Chains A and B, each alone.
Chain A
Amino acid sequence: MTKIIQPKKQKNIFSRPSSEEGIWSWITTVDHKRIGIMYGYAAFFFLLVGGLEALLLRIQLSQPDNNFLSAAEYNAMFTMHGTTMIFLAIMPISAAFFNYLLPLQIGARDVAFPRLNALSFWIFIAGGLFLYSTFLFGTAGAPEGGYLDEEVSRLASAPNGGWFGYQPNAGLKYSPGTAMDYWAIGLQILGIASLVSAFNFITTILNMRTKGMRLMRMPVFTWMTFAVSFLLAFSLPIIAIALFFVTFDRQFGTTFFLTEGGGDPVLWQHLFWLFGHPEVYILILPAFGIVSEVLPTFSRKPLFGYPAIVFAGFGIAFIGFGVWAHHMFASAISPVAQAGFGLSTMIIAVPTGVKIFNWLGTIWGGKLTLNTPMLFALGFIGMFVIGGLSGVTHSVVPADTQQTDTYYIVAHFHYVLFGGALFGIFSGLYYWFPKVWGRMYNEALGKIHFWLMIIGFNLTFGPMHWLGLQGQVRRTWVYAEETNLGFWNLIVTIGAFILAVAILVFMANWMYSRRKGEKAPFDPWDARTLEWITPSPTPVWNFSKAPEVKSLDDFWYQKYGEDEDGRAVRKDTADDLLIQLEEEGFNPDEEIHLPSPSYFPLILAFGLPFLGYAVIYKSIPLALIGVILLLIGGFGWGTEPLEEEFESAEEDLVNTEEDSVNEEESPTNE
């Protein structure tokens, strides 16, 4: 075990948190693994809430002219469903994977800025709670001069301008009350969380790689984390500005997007989608990374065309900034812009296709283990291809003018973000389950989950293709019986409930297996990447000594050689290696200094919602509370050293000098 060294006492606003177990140890933790787990649980909670909202929508739409929800409730539900799933579920679940895995995959003890990492998690929580507090405090109503037949219920007191918040409908005149302010400021806060973690991950990847971990030896999941971090860093400032404009329009009477003051509602569309399209890749690239880990492992073959997959990922990220107006083909843009953005949208299909073909190349000729993570990864390819192909039909601008704003689009992006991103995420959750908990999930339940999900998913979103093309418009509370859309809408609703059952199976499996599952062997999947050379669950110090990497998939090549046919042959030393790694992993033979827990990220983060409330309610006391929390957090943080000073301060374990970024290799120079 590690030697326990008593830290020197230091003075600060609060004394350093000291508990190692229990709730406070989690709240004050700066350990990337614990933060990752908390991200995962919080995001999953919001996924359930967003799913519940979707079920309410589906009940309402199960038959024509239904009255299960009022129009105000329906509009609030679809706005919150989209906002929740994107900002509070899929993005933070990806962040959970980044946090837990990224340092492990590059052989580091933690991220570059552990307290910033805690800060971004707590800002995410603060932003999520702030946004959802609209159900308690928010108000909404009819546009200025309009009438409502009934009082606005609490369910309808949520943002109702759509997750895209098109102006001027989401402006004060047409969306009075405070709900849309909760939306704008809530997203602003959540954006800070993502920006903070983006810079943290970029720095970590550039500076914290272990010896020999050149950029082109990094696992693809790490590469995709890198790409996503750049996407976040470049796209979030755009939405931040746009949201500031909206908040100013609503709160202080500016007219950035209001025609009566010389503003332009189409400008909002441009700004929103200039962020919104890269956002799509922010949601999907982590899943690309996950399946790029899962497929080779369970095919027992290296990833086919590793450099192609990496560069295709960055190609997608880069071109992703040049396609935003394909969300606006029917809007006020000229034919020249339509043609240009149509072509750029077609071009982005090429690197996406490259990825799919390379994944197929990976499984081709392999020896496939069809367990739950692999099934989800294969399901991911199948479903994502459908979403990709329907995406190509959108790039055909004239056809898109028929498809846009219909359920055809809803089908398309759910095939990409549910069949794609979420299937990839489930694949990853099962794949790394033994890593995180040291136990195995239940394979039978896992497979039931997969099959329920793929059936429920296709029943839910498949029929939406023709529902859309045959006239069902998005964001509609009711549809007329004469549209003859009732039958397939009922099928869709049934599918949605099958999905709900699938999620329940997943939860049962998770909760049972985490405590009572079989004990996971060391290296349960015969894996390839560095996270598997540590025991499971990963000890708090990650690596007992910094690993040294000699090639891509280094762990695999320590276990396997190739015979003259190029077939993998397990080395005689492999079994001993695993025993040795496990032994070492639990018993580091050196002193390990880890960043110490801190209260200050939490305090700083919870200053932000108070500032948000202060803007909405124009309240000086609330602003003061917010500022004081920020000051305590910032000042305390600034004066608190990252680690306690120890009697014998030694060099940090992570080696960074020899391996600083190779400029030529870095695709960030694009």
Chain B
Amino acid sequence: MLCSFLFITACIENAPLDSLSPAGPYARTIDELFWLTFWIAVVIFFIVQGALLFSVFYFKDSPEKPEPKQIHGNSVLEIIWTVIPVIILASIAVPTVRTIFDLAREPENALKIEVIGHQWWFEYKYPDYGITTANVLVIPEDTPIRLEMWSNDVLHNYWVPKLNGKRYLVPGQKTYLNLHADNAEEFWAQCGEYCGLSHSKMRGRVLSLSQSDFDAWVINEQKNAANDLDQESLAYEGQQVYLNAGCTQCHVIGGVWDVQGERIAPNLTHFAIRNVFAGAALKNNAENLTEWLANPAKIKPGTFMPNLELTEREIEALIEYLGTLK
């Protein structure tokens, strides 16, 4: 009994991954269905546990009690407690099935975004705008979003608890998920499916912006990075580190190096405007970047980013350069 009271009162305030605080129509539909089921379960819980506790106290052995009546069963009761659960379940089944198909339907006029799972970060592509980015999914508020998803390596599971349930990213086939955020707000995302060493650090952010902010973001994203740094500056030195230390093997910064195209690591063109990095496991600040660049595998075990044995000066310069990528 205590448990269900606890359940209501024990809820954690301000949990960024809280599936019980929906912030969009999809998550809200699910939430309503959950609470419907939950309250039915609570009623059954009290009936059954009540009967159990009542029996324990009332029918407890005591010396003056006579031997009990030997009852072998009762067909009427058997039928009743078979049929009543069937009716209750049917009443849950109808909205369940309806909601399954509602959630799967592609919304009209949806913005299409591709989500590609990598060990251990999410990549986002906007085919309509020609944008490639990582870790932070930027969407316009109050607009349906259709995610087309697949994985580049193992199974992943995309989850933005406040916006919808989870959906797997599978290598070799596509899956789909709808999102819709009511307001301009930042949400947390997390990979749900165990995907190897750094599964717990495969996180994400979804940034919902007002339509005008979103449009501005799109225009900015479509630009290449600035390539006219002052040759005396620390940032320029950082750019040289970027070009010479091997970063370009895996990363792309639009407009900075000739060879473009697919790379295995996140696109860094607008790195500085993303508030998180390394699979959204770290906040984007100088302290974290220093730690990361010194030894990536220490923060994300198994990562494909090698320790480039950079000097302190090189790291400092690189961070300065990354800060210019707005």
A-to-B contact residues, CB < 8 Å: 70-72, 75, 142-143, 145-149, 162, 166, 168-169, 174-175, 259, 264-266, 299-302, 304-308, 330-332, 335, 338-339, 342-343, 346-347, 349-350, 353-354, 356-358, 360-361, 363-370, 378, 381-382, 385-386, 389-390, 392-393, 395-406, 458, 462-463, 465-467, 469-480, 482-485, 487-488, 562, 565-569
Contact = CB atoms under 8 A, between A and B. Distances in A.
A484 B207 CA distance: 20
Given A71-B200, A354-B82, A470 B29 contact: no
B297 A265 contact: no
B200 A339 contact: no
Interface in B82-119: 82, 85-86, 89, 92-93, 96-97, 99-101, 103-104, 119
Contacts of B192: 330, 404-406, 473-474
A64 to B, nearest CB: 11
A474 B166 CA distance: 13
Given A264-B172, A305-B73, A361-B74, A478 B201 contact: yes
Contacts of B101: 335, 339
A471 B11 CA distance: 11
Nearest to A269: B155
A367 B16 contact: no
Interface stretch (B46-54, B139-147, B222-230): B46-54
B263 to A, nearest CB: 14
Contacts of B234: none
A174 B296 CA distance: 19
14 contacts: A72-B301, A259-B171, A332-B173, A342-B93, A360-B52, A364-B59, A399-B30, A399-B34, A400-B165, A405-B157, A470-B15, A470-B18, A478-B200, A565-B69
B300 to A, nearest CB: 8
A222 to B, nearest CB: 18
Contacts of A562: 70
Given A338-B100, A354-B81, A396-B92, A168 B193 contact: no
B66 interface: yes
Contacts of B244: none
A146 B304 contact: yes
Interface stretch (B37-45, B129-137, B310-318): B37-45
Given A398-B99, A484-B16, 12 more contacts: A75-B196, A142-B297, A266-B170, A370-B61, A381-B48, A401-B30, A406-B19, A473-B191, A474-B194, A475-B200, A484-B13, A567-B67
Contacts of A305: 72-74, 77-78
A567 B10 contact: no
A330 B81 CA distance: 32
Contact of A339 (B100, B195, B196, B301): B100
A389 B66 contact: no
A393 B59 contact: no
A567 B70 CA distance: 6
Nearest to A79: B194
B78 A354 contact: yes
B6 interface: yes
Contacts of B97: 339, 342-343
Contact of A353 (B72, B81, B159, B168): B81
B97 to A, nearest CB: 5
Contact of A367 (B30, B65, B77, B297): B65
B33 interface: yes
A397 B70 contact: no
B259 interface: no
A621 to B, nearest CB: 34
A150 B199 CA distance: 18
B59 A365 contact: yes
Interface residues of B, number: 102
The 5 A-B residue pairs whose C-beta atoms are closest, nearest first, are: A471-B17, A401-B165, A259-B172, A476-B200, A405-B192
A393 B37 contact: yes
B305 A569 contact: no
A215 B302 CA distance: 57
A396 B34 contact: yes
Nearest to B154: A169
A357 to B, nearest CB: 4
Contacts of B55: 360, 363-364, 366, 368
Contact of A300 (B68, B77, B157, B167): B68
Contacts of B89: 346-347, 349-350, 392
A71 B103 contact: no
B302 A367 contact: no
B194 A166 contact: yes
A361 B77 contact: yes
Contacts of B19: 402-403, 406, 469-471
Contact of B302 (A143, A378, A565): A143
A400 B296 CA distance: 35
Contact of B7 (A143, A266, A370, A465): A465
A307 B74 CA distance: 11
A484 B11 CA distance: 11
Nearest to A307: B73
A412 B62 CA distance: 36
B59 A378 contact: no
A366 B154 contact: no
Given A360-B48, A378-B56, A366 B34 contact: no
A475 B192 CA distance: 9
B148 interface: no
Contacts of A390: 41
A346 B165 contact: no
Contacts of A339: 96-97, 100-101
A346 B37 CA distance: 12
A48 to B, nearest CB: 25
Contact of A146 (B45, B52, B119, B194): B119
Interface in B171-205: 171-173, 175, 188, 190-201, 203
